[in-house]
Chain A
Amino acid sequence: MSGGWFGRRARSRPAESVPDGIAQKCEGCEQIVFVRELERNLKVCPRCGHHHRMSARERVDITVDPGSFEETDGNLVSVDPLRFPEYPEKLEKARQATGLSEAMLTGRATIEEIPLIIGVADFGFMGGSMGSVYGEKVARAFERAAEEGKSVVLFSASGGARMQEGLLALMQMAKTAAAVEKAREAGVAFVSVLTSPTTGGVFASYASLGDVVLAEPGAIVGFAGRRVGQQELGGQLPPNFQTSEFQYEHGFVDRIVNRKDMRRTLGFLLRFFAEAGQHGG
């Protein structure tokens, strides 16, 4: 197969977030910011604080201890179970664009030297949508965490279930939710981190089931697409509808954490959970 399954590694940067060049328009304040300045600031706008999207690999890099990430289940690849129009082409394009095998990247790592199982969704891979492989990787992450006595941290960035896998994608909601629950019985702690966007079938499954649910500021977080809601309600929606802040206000997100504080916050929680486990939980 020409070009390989996962495209070229060099292209680890999502195409939509940083065009080639030295400057770009901030998606929050629409001011021009220098790319290097943005990169140095973890892709957070130095002026308005807007958190720009990150690829899964970038997220891993800024989150775990340097060099500690070891990918698992990277050999799982999607097939086209429904023979859905244009699905194979879209998969191939996504592999090329992201250098990933799927929209969910999982592995073992450490944060502040505490071992954990981490998973990160990549919105650049078909909108971070959850199909069979995504669901399988999440389920395996929880099973592995139970076997190895570790906590799970999952970063979501997903439009929801992957339409192109139809019912099988819908079933991943049940599969991941069941995996969370079974691991919980085995004492596994789960921190769910919602990044922009986390919606639909992902928000309505494992991502809402964290022992702790964190979210990045200003992230789109909700059940249905925002446009759907506005149409149904004729525009009578609060300005922060379906954002992290809205979910925090209503009790479905425990804490909004700035990107620069995420690693430290996760370290704190992992220590808390690890200590609890040691004393026989």
Chain B
Amino acid sequence: MAANVLDFERPIRELEALIDELRTPEKRAEAEAQGLDLGSEIARLEAELRAVIERIFARLTPWEQTLLSRHPSRPYTLDYVLRIFDDFLELGGDRLAGNDQAVVGGPAFLDGRPVMVVGHQKGRELRERQQRNFGSAHAEGFRKALRLARMAERFRRPLISFVDTSAAAADLAAEEHGVSEAIATNMAVFSRLRIPIVVIVIGEGGSGGAIGLAVGDRVLMLEHAVYSVIPPEGCAAILWRDKNRAPDAAAALRMTARDALELGVVEEVLPEPLGGAHRDPAAMAATVKEAILRHLWELEKLPTEELISERYRRFRRMGRWRELTPSETAEAE
């Protein structure tokens, strides 16, 4: 368990360990024998624990946010799927070449309504992590999602996409099977699907690997998720030839959920339970479910043509630039 604690979480974990120990029957018996009021001591420590977490989380750096988004205990796509949907039937395969375990998907029921679900899936322990290539999808994974998305369109089921990947696979197989084409095609096709699409960035939104599953009408992001064009380690290596400056790069890249909201890239940031989603996955899932239902309800009121043209405009607006006036242009030349 200790390996799953981030440095800045250590004071939290130490307090928790102390509280846990005070709760053991041995300590209770000991305290009773000495006539000590253990209950009020535990209550005092719990209040302190909350205060410590609040203090730590009130001033998280972008780099600490990044580490949180990759937290080994953080809920992954299937953790949400199992909590949010009444029923889910996983379907594998891209009908072309393989079944990439880094992406999962299939039909599900959301409070009785049929929807299609896709998402990146990281693994929990070593063997599963390897099977799922640490959530880094190959072309087959993107094409699995594409195939399921098209099925959803055919039956007019909304699409819910969970994004959680450090990056797309970049090995020989990825290149041989056209991971670039697969990402490009997903963005193109998703941009025109005649069904509502809600995307939730639950952990790492890692560049091309993320955007390949992240074109939709609404893109939501968990409070401690990140979304970036390049991992901060890679950015630091390019900028300063020093991977150890990743914390500086994380700040420069503006990759936190609040940044994404300010940049107009996501519609909403979903607050996480105190201390992060991993401290209360059930509460986090309830928040995500509420948000999905609310956005779907809004989207389903739109006529299909409007839905698609709004989605086009959504991405069309992205970016910031300046248009020089004719006189400025003349001066420039």
Residues of A within 8 A of B326 (CB): 75
Check B315–A182 contact: CB distance below 8 A.
no
User: Knowing A163-B230, A178-B187, A201-B207 touch, does A232 contact B170 (C-beta < 8 A)?
Assistant: yes
User: B14-22, B49-57, B171-179: which lies at the A interface?
Assistant: B171-179
Residues of A within 8 A of B252 (CB): 82, 84-85
Residue of B nearest to A132 (CB): B319
Task: Encode contact with A along B144-178: 1 for CB under 8 Å, 0 otherwise.
Answer: 00000000000000000000000010111011111
* Other-chain contact of A181, B191, B207, B263, B325 (Cβ < 8 Å): B191
Task: Encode contact with B along A200-216: 1 for CB under 8 Å, 0 otherwise.
Answer: 11011111110000000
Check A6–B312 contact: CB distance below 8 A.
no
Whole-angstrom CA separation of A131 from B172 in the bound complex: 28
Check B175–A174 contact: CB distance below 8 A.
no
* Other-chain contact of A4, B174, B178, B228, B333 (Cβ < 8 Å): B333
User: A43-51, A59-67, A244-252, A256-264: which lies at the B interface?
Assistant: A244-252
Residues of A within 8 A of B168 (CB): 204, 223
Check A167–B265 contact: CB distance below 8 A.
yes
Residue of B nearest to A223 (CB): B180
Task: Encode contact with B along A67-108: 1 for CB under 8 Å, 0 otherwise.
Answer: 000000011111101101100000000000000010000000
Check B321–A182 contact: CB distance below 8 A.
no
Check A204–B230 contact: CB distance below 8 A.
no
Residues of A within 8 A of B189 (CB): 181
Check B316–A223 contact: CB distance below 8 A.
no
Whole-angstrom CA separation of A125 from B264 in the bound complex: 26
User: Knowing A79-B320, A136-B321 touch, does A182 contact B191 (C-beta < 8 A)?
Assistant: yes
Residue of B nearest to A87 (CB): B252
* Other-chain contact of B321, A1, A78, A166 (Cβ < 8 Å): A78
Whole-angstrom CA separation of A207 from B265 in the bound complex: 23
B88 within 8 A of partner (CB) = no
Check A233–B171 contact: CB distance below 8 A.
yes
User: Knowing A6-B332, A181-B191 touch, does A79 contact B321 (C-beta < 8 A)?
Assistant: yes
Whole-angstrom CA separation of A181 from B190 in the bound complex: 10
Residue of A nearest to B229 (CB): A170
Task: Encode contact with A along B121-147: 1 for CB under 8 Å, 0 otherwise.
Answer: 000000000000000000000000000
Check A174–B187 contact: CB distance below 8 A.
yes
Check B211–A75 contact: CB distance below 8 A.
no
A185 within 8 A of partner (CB) = yes
A229 within 8 A of partner (CB) = yes
Check B319–A250 contact: CB distance below 8 A.
no
B208 within 8 A of partner (CB) = yes
Check A172–B192 contact: CB distance below 8 A.
no
Please report which residues of chain A, range 124-175, place their CB below 8 angstroms from some CB of chain B when the two chains form the complex.
131-133, 135-136, 139, 161-163, 165-175
Check A166–B254 contact: CB distance below 8 A.
yes
A242 within 8 A of partner (CB) = yes
Residues of A within 8 A of B328 (CB): 5, 75
Check A175–B230 contact: CB distance below 8 A.
no
Top-5 shortest CB links A-B: A132-B319, A224-B170, A5-B332, A178-B191, A177-B187
Interface residues of B (CB under 8 A from A): 168, 170-172, 174-181, 183-185, 187-189, 191-192, 207-208, 210-212, 214-215, 227-230, 235, 238-239, 252-255, 259-260, 263, 265, 311-312, 315-316, 318-326, 328-329, 331-333
- Could you name 22 residue pairs across A and B whose Cβ atoms are closer than 8 Å? A75-B323, A76-B324, A77-B321, A135-B319, A165-B319, A167-B228, A167-B254, A168-B263, A168-B319, A173-B184, A173-B211, A175-B315, A178-B311, A185-B192, A205-B183, A208-B178, A208-B180, A223-B175, A229-B172, A246-B175, A250-B177, A251-B178
Known pairs A5-B332, A167-B265, A172-B318 / 9 extra A-B pairs, C-beta < 8 Å: A78-B322, A166-B259, A168-B265, A174-B211, A201-B208, A208-B180, A208-B184, A241-B172, A246-B175
